A and B are shown apart, each in its own frame.
Chain A
Amino acid sequence: MYRLSDFYRLSAALTGYEEVELQGTGVGSVYCQTLSKWVRQDVIEALYAQAEQIGALDNDASQARFYDQIWNSAKLGPVARNIIKMWYLSIWYQLPADWNALYGVDDFSADKQPVEDYVISSNAYIQGLVWNALGSHPMGAKQPGYGTWAFPGDTAKTHNLD
């Protein structure tokens, strides 16, 4: 699972969540497979390698290198941003057509590119990081209990009917 561990390490840097938090969602391997389905393996490897070389983003210099070599790279930037969106929103967005022509999966036949943006799975929707980040629960799932909406949102108070 060398690549999955690479995927988690990169994902932690991109999402702002700890690796252990990402693993706790249970959908990391599905996202890793989704990435491999739509992006050429050598591009993914290049992304991992570049991220490895930059290391922890704990100072201005490493962050500047990250922007320069990953975020603003025509080749790697769109992939990095799609990984963040997968984790937060559980959606795979189509990559730009000009990017696809250069770096999409080797087989350029039509069925090798998604025809539209799609939700990766119902479980992925439920595990979307955005709900946790905004201090709530996914709409339609992980119900917090009767009356909890009356409590201030950012306290640790739990279900209490009194």
Chain B
Amino acid sequence: MTHHHNDYDVVIVGAGIAGAIMAKQLGEQGKHVLVLEAGTGTDGRFFDQGKEQGYESYMERFFTAMAKIPNAPYPNNPNAPQPLVTDIQKPPLDKPVSDHGYFVQYGPDPFASTYTRSEGGTTLHWLGTCLRMLPEDFELQSRFGRGRDWPISYQELQPWYEIAEQHIGVSANADVQNYHQIDNPSVQLPFAENYNYPMEQIPQSFLDQYLAKGLQGMQVNIDDHTYPIDVVATPQGRNGMPRGDYRPVGAVGNPDLGQRCAGNSNCVPICPIQAKYSALKTLEQAKQTGNVTIETQAVAYHLAVDDNTQNISKVHYKRYHSTDSAAFEDKAVTGKIVVLAAHAVENAKLLLASNVANSSDQVGRNLMDHPTMLTWGLMPCKIGAFRGPGSTSGIPSLRGGAFRADQAAFRIEIGNWGWSWPEGAPIATVPDLIDKQGLFGPALRHKIAEEYPRMFRFGFLVEQLPDPDNRVTIDDQYRDQLGNYRPVIHYKVTDYTRAGMAQAKEVSDAIFQRLGVEPFTQYKTSDPGYVQYQGKGYVYNGAGHLVGTHLMGKDPTDSVVNRDQRSWDHPNLYLVGCGNMPTIATSNPTLTMAALTFWAADNVLNALDQY
């Protein structure tokens, strides 16, 4: 059934994971939903395995791309531009601004994360990590005097976590993920009795097993407290072995593919067989309800407000015809309820451009990410680098603890792909073996065979606090070719986070020493993310975890949405996505965002009953 009118029960802006979940939940209850997506659709590509137009065309783009960055397989679109990691520079000291790429950056530190503007959103290239937040993450202010408290607790979110895990199809074991085995009560997670994930945990890499053995019994000291160092499998939105009757969603449109992760070692930027969850799977389920229409190439740019009710009366958008031209048609649509699901930065931009939902002056503020510090080295023996999913385990022991009063917590990710992140290995490093070391023939082959399987790296996802000065704003000077605002970003990494980075480096050094890892970590002053703390230099990277630009709270004067994720200012406006999260803590935010979105969808359904 197609809905032909120009007014809908619900208009959703954004066809990423949050918009997709919202659309599916509402469509299944018979609500008429329109999803506006700024980027292009897949033109059926993800449903068709053909080479010219099908999914393989994305693989072709990836294979032949010189820079295999997260957005490499996905065509660039000047009508819905997106940030690229190759655009990131240190904001220059001699100029007020760095506007290389889509973001306009004022610094003083560069904001290093990116996202994808396309149907499916950033789940097209996410890693699939599906960690829950800790109970104490929801109470940072009352427990540690830092950041903010959430208006909801872990216990309240727990049932929604379960729904999100079942929907995404997370592979993990609950009796491992409750961290009961870690001797640090701060990180232990209560799971509902008898609950388990839909699929068994993905096998841990040989490297994980090697580390687990080598680090057994290891402890570190922070502020006179002793903390353990434990290697634990990471829950992943990637198909493993199903429990019971559960059957994972296969590749979109082709259930024969994507039933199990096959070890393509390419989760970011693109899984060739779609064995990793992407929002396209949820969008397909939403479409199958017959109640959901997705309009792509439709960039929402203004929300009109009814002066009497304060409701959002219209969503104005520009519908462009192709990515080759800036020509567009100006359109508007009405929904009883409007949901913004356009990603933390784009949601904030649209709210600011429309001057709505901002009575608290918090829209765009409190932008957070996980500044991610890497350390890398050579293991004393071959640990089989460059195989399997990007990361299958981590060290979560320092995700929480009393030290959070003074410094950031962090999660340690164990990378399975050697030095690919810090050094671009092997593609970027082999030329040096030839040009600088003069290797060729059997000596070259031998060097690669002996050294590359020993390559090892950690990633430290360091907590960042909500800071009102870290913000997305808009400026009339900076617009894209459709005349829409580009995000203008002010960002800095404070001492709280820097102290966490320093602590993380100390932990890394202790682990390297214990295992006999030959260190190769180098933090160059020329790196865009170079920062100093107490006289020592560190480098952070972006994690792609953009959080906090329209956060939820108990008080309308200092938050943008309430616990229902409804705007304090506009009764029919709901915001979803990581922008709602008041703190980022140490878990990758997608699972929490998905759980919150299932909750928000329930709230929207209840609200629709009143219309």
Contact = CB atoms under 8 A, between A and B. Distances in A.
Interface in A97-156: 116-119, 121-122, 125-126, 129-131, 133-137, 139-141, 143-154
Among A119, A129, A136, max chain B CB count under 10 A is at A136
Cβ-closest 9 pairs across A and B = A153-B384, A149-B388, A122-B63, A16-B445, A134-B452, A140-B266, A143-B262, A16-B442, A133-B448
B260 interface: yes
Given A17-B445, A149-B392, A150-B209, A134 B263 contact: no
Interface in B359-411: 382-389, 392
A153 B453 contact: yes
Given A81-B434, A119-B63, A122-B63, A150 B441 contact: no
A93 B426 CA distance: 16
Nearest to A140: B266
A44 B437 CA distance: 24
Interface of B: 59-60, 62-66, 68, 203-206, 209, 240, 260-266, 270, 272-273, 382-389, 392, 416-418, 420, 426-427, 430-431, 434-435, 438, 440-446, 448-449, 452-453
B262 A145 contact: yes
A143 B59 contact: no
B440 A80 contact: yes
B389 A149 contact: yes
Given A81-B435, A85-B430, A147-B203, A133 B386 contact: no
Contacts of A151: 206, 384
A144 B262 CA distance: 6
A79 interface: no
A50 interface: no
Interface in A47-95: 57, 67, 71, 80-81, 84-85, 88-89, 91, 93
B427 A91 contact: yes
A15 interface: yes
A135 B453 contact: yes
Contacts of B442: 16
B440 A84 contact: yes
Contacts of A137: 263, 265, 387
A122 B384 contact: no
Contact of B203 (A119, A125, A139, A150): A150
B388 A125 contact: no
A71 B438 contact: yes
A13 interface: yes
B444 A150 contact: no
B386 A134 contact: yes
B59 A144 contact: no
A140 B206 contact: no
Contacts of A35: none
B384 A154 contact: yes
Nearest to B444: A16
Contacts of B448: 130, 133-134
Contacts of A134: 385-386, 418, 426, 448-449, 452-453
A130 B426 contact: yes
A43 interface: no
A135 B203 contact: no
A139 B446 CA distance: 21
A13 B441 contact: yes
A67 to B, nearest CB: 8
Given A89-B431, A139-B266, A146-B263, A122 B206 contact: no
B427 A130 contact: yes
A131 B264 CA distance: 13
Contact of A140 (B270, B383, B435, B452): B270
A33 B325 CA distance: 37
A146 B203 CA distance: 9
Contact of B444 (A67, A84, A140): A84
Contacts of B64: 118-119, 121-122, 125
Given A71-B438, A150-B203, A89 B449 contact: no
A155 B272 CA distance: 26
Among A131, A134, A147, max chain B CB count under 10 A is at A134
Among A121, A122, A135, A150, max chain B CB count under 10 A is at A150
Contact of B264 (A88, A122, A143): A143
Given A122-B59, A148-B387, 11 more contacts: A91-B66, A121-B64, A134-B452, A139-B417, A141-B272, A143-B263, A144-B262, A145-B263, A146-B262, A149-B205, A154-B384
A69 B338 CA distance: 73
Contacts of A121: 64
Contacts of A93: 431
Contacts of B392: 149
Nearest to B445: A16
A143 B387 contact: no
Contacts of B443: 16
Given A125-B63, A149-B206, A151-B206, A133 B431 contact: no
